[in-house]
Structures are given as structure tokens and as C-alpha cells.
């Protein structure tokens, strides 16, 4: 798995800042993105960039959120935008590994039934 993005790391010297890291991996017919860290206004642009790159491959996309402890509405907006782009190209986005807290914000925003959400990465990458 290739860590394709490390958002929030300053260009200067010293210890790197902790930010959202996003690994990207091709798995069979899917691209699996595995963000690690909070998806907020700081991290959402990096996720949007990685999603766009993944969607340009023409494969279905799986986003493993098991290492995302927190998401706010900017993260939701990023995922909704990605889903709309996928629909235009008849591709699928599947979310998996949602923590209770992340799932709760989907619930608050009434988006639980808008996305395909499955428990685990294995569930997400099973052949249809």
C-alpha cells in the first residue's frame, strides 16, 4: 500500500505535523483509499485530491474509514461530491469500517442510506 498523501506536514524543518494520511492501493477491480486521521476542514482537500485521482483510473472506489476517528461536514461534502462524480460515470463508491462517531455524523446528516456502507474492507471488495 502506498501512502500517497500526507496532509498537514510543514515544509520546514522539525518534527512533521500530524495530519491526514491517505494510502492508496489497487485491489482487484477496486481502488482502496485508506485515510488515517481526522477528516475535517484541514484534511478534506487532501482526501478530495486522492479521490479524484482514484476515480480517474476508471475503477470502483472503496474508502476504508476504519482509521478515521472524526469527520465533520467538510468530510461529508467531499464524499457526497465523490459519489455524484461516480454516478455520472456509472461507478460505485463503497464506504467501510465506519467508527461509531463517524457513523453518527452520517446519521445526523441523513446520509446513511445514500452511500453503500458495509462493515469491513473484505465486505467492500467482495465480487458482486
Task: Give the residues lining the site for other proteins (CB under 8 A).
Answer: 8, 38, 40-42, 69-70, 72-74, 76-78, 80-81, 84, 99-101, 103-105, 107-111, 114
Strand order in the sheet with 2-6: 2-6, 21-27, 30-36, 60-64, 93-96, 116-118
Closest approach, Cβ 73 to other proteins, in A, equals 4
Q: For residues 87 and 126, which CB has a smaller minimum distance to other proteins in the complex?
A: 87
Q: What angle do CA 50, 126, 103 make, to 5 degrees?
A: 60
Residue 76 or 125 having the CB closest to other proteins:
76
- Shortest reach from residue 64's CB to other proteins, in Å: 15
Cell of 43: 484534511
In angstroms, the Cα distances linking 92 to 16, 34, 37, 122 are 35, 16, 24, 16
* Nearer to other proteins among residue 30 and residue 106 (C-beta): 106
Q: Least distance (Å) from other proteins to the CB of residue 68?
A: 9
Cβ closest to other proteins, residue 25 vs residue 45: 45
Amino acid at each position: 500500500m502506498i501512502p500517497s498523501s500526507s496532509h498537514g506536514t510543514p515544509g520546514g524543518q522539525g518534527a512533521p505535523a500530524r495530519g491526514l494520511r491517505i494510502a492508496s492501493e489497487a485491489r482487484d477491480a477496486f481502488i482502496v483509499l485508506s485515510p488515517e486521521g481526522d477528516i475535517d476542514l484541514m484534511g478534506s482537500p487532501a482526501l478530495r485530491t486522492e479521490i479524484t485521482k482514484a476515480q480517474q483510473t476508471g475503477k470502483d472506489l472503496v474508502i476504508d474509514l476504519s482509521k478515521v476517528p472524526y469527520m465533520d461536514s467538510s468530510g461529508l461534502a467531499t464524499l457526497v461530491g465523490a459519489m455524484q462524480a461516480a454516478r455520472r460515470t456509472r461507478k460505485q463508491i463503497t464506504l467501510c469500517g465506519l467508527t461509531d462517531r463517524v457513523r453518527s455524523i452520517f446519521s445526523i446528516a441523513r446520509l446513511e442510506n445514500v452511500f453503500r456502507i458495509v462493515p469491513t474492507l473484505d465486505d467492500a471488495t467482495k465480487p458482486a
